[in-house]
Structure 1
């Protein structure tokens, strides 16, 4: 299930951090806890585990904030000054239990604060819309609504891959299959099977794809990790529909629960377009 949340700023010219994903994630966890405390604790502390590995998945994601207007951003700024009357974002869940427990009334008139030691922005939820269910086929075209993070391990360190990288499709496929197996543990698929089942094709002009660094655990300096994602691109995906559903509803790539890998369906493919 997907929701579109409209956020009204409480004051004009509020300063919003560029790195707002972590506070948004914490806010969603808080709302989930009101609907189902046990489930929210499960997501936060553990998640859905992939057998025989240390990988866990939350199976929800959210888009970047849609911000119609800001003041000009200067080089070196770590925030944007808001001039919009309304912001919005999409929140998406794959797991049915989350959709059932996530009552729209919990959002209404709730407040959200995004801040660090220097800057603060406060919002109230103006309204919530339930978005229609989308039929997903074996071949779909998607456009990113937030940065997508795909990485491979090199000497125990993550090497973040751009969608133009020749290895992007392979690691994209393995991650998607791993997410599916965390829900369907009886399915046995290795990396070779994943590459055969999942075919990623970039459709956008590579020059228009944007790179974005994201800090996990904003405000907790000793625990922070910088991850790198890529946004503003469209792609074609061919895979069994049940795998595509996992990515569409729960996020493609890594760090989905921190607002990465959220996409929307394109009505039809447009090659070499940045959208």
Structure 2
């Protein structure tokens, strides 16, 4: 399920706002359901929700200027997560994004597409991050992959499988999925709590398992989804 969250007001938001927007959602979770908020925050595993980039802002040198508000999308197969977000935002009525305070205008549930015809053409609404571990003299460190590398798609497929199995506690009936090379890519470099991550805006297509495509659509493609990476739409 996916909801559109619209806000009003004027203000400036710096480009590296992912942790601010995640903070908006976690505050909403706490307002509505403390137990859920604690379990989601403390979990080291996949959290099964994602959100889009902020929309409606005007890009300037260091960030986005909102003259008449804007919106973002929140998506999850976990209905309790969406319910807590909606209830918490309604209770508060304010979206504190960095140093700016915007007021909640409305929320609406968006229609979920049916993935009956393959391949499905997708476009990112927030960039996809995929990583691997590489050897360094003192051990291993994470390394962000790019769409020109075969391992990018291999790890993307594995991540979809892991998301599905963790959510449903069983493997999908069809495990075959092919993620076709993108027709468009743009690298983004995003800072979260002092660490920069390379991620990619992409137009790409997917064919194969409807189950894996659905979990990717609802929970996000790739990694760090709960920090606003990997949301897609059908194009």
Q: TM-score range by the shorter chain?
A: 0.7 to 0.9
Asked whether the equivalents of residues 108 and 125 of structure 1 are also in contact (C-alpha less than 8 Å), the reply is no
Instruction: Find the counterpart in structure 2 of residue 239 from structure 1.
Output: 208
Q: Pick one of 93, 108, 124 that aligns with 1:129.
A: 108
Local SS of the residue matching 2:205: strand
Alpha-carbon distance in 2 for matches of 1:38, 1:5: 23
- What is the CA distance between 1:130 and its match in structure 2? 1.2
The two structures, once aligned, show a CA RMSD in angstroms of 2.4
Query: Is the 2:31–2:88 contact (alpha carbons within 8 Å) kept by the matching residues of 1?
Result: no
Say yes or no: does 1:140 pair with 2:129. no
Give, in whole Å, the separation in 1 of the partners of 2:192 and 2:6.
24
Give the Å deviation of 1:112.
1.8
Equivalenced residues, count: 230
Equivalent in the alignment of 1:230: 200
What residue is the counterpart of 1:265 in the other structure? 234
Distance 2:70 2:172 in 1: 42
| Counterpart Cα distance in 1 of 2:32 and 2:177 | 35
Structure 1: distance between partners of 2:224 and 2:162: 14
Match of 1:94 in 2: 77
Q: Tell me, yes or no, if the aligned pair for 1:109 and 1:124 is still in contact at 8 Å.
A: no
Question: Would the aligned equivalents of 2:220 and 2:230 in 1 still touch at CA under 8 Å?
Answer: yes
Counterpart of 2:150 in 1: which secondary structure? Answer: coil
**SS of 1:27 mapped into structure 2:** helix
* Contact persistence 1:108–1:127 (CA under 8 A): no
Change (3 A) 1:100 1:110: closer
Map 1:212-227; keep pairs closer than 5 Å. Answer: 212-217=188-193, 224-227=194-197
Deviation at 1:240, TM superposition (A): 1.6
Paired residues of 2:28 and 2:88 also in contact (CA < 8 A): no
- Cα pair distance change 1:176/1:184, threshold 3 Å: same
Hey, what's the Cα distance between the residues in 1 that align with 2:172 and 2:153? 20
Inter-CA distance 159–133: structure 2 relative to 1 (3 Å threshold) = same
Equivalent residues of 1:148, 1:253 under 8 A apart: yes
Label 1:105 to 1:57 Cα distance change in 2 as closer, same or farther (>3 A): closer
Per the alignment, do residues 248 and 261 of structure 1 end up closer, same or farther by CA in structure 2, a change over 3 Å counting? same
Deviations 1:87-142 (A, max 9, x none): 11111111233244444583377212233xxxx32211121111112223364221
Aligned 8 A contact 1:16 1:114 in 2: yes
Please give the TM-score of this superposition, normalised by the length of structure 2: 0.87
Q: Unaligned regions of 5+ residues in structure 1, if any? A: 48-55, 74-78, 218-223, 267-275
Look up the match of 1:107: 90
Select between 15-24 and 29-38 the one with higher mean Cα deviation: 29-38
**CA spacing shift, 1:186–1:166, aligned 2, 3 Å:** closer
The answer for the alignment partner of 2:159 in structure 1 is 175
Match of 1:38 in 2: 35
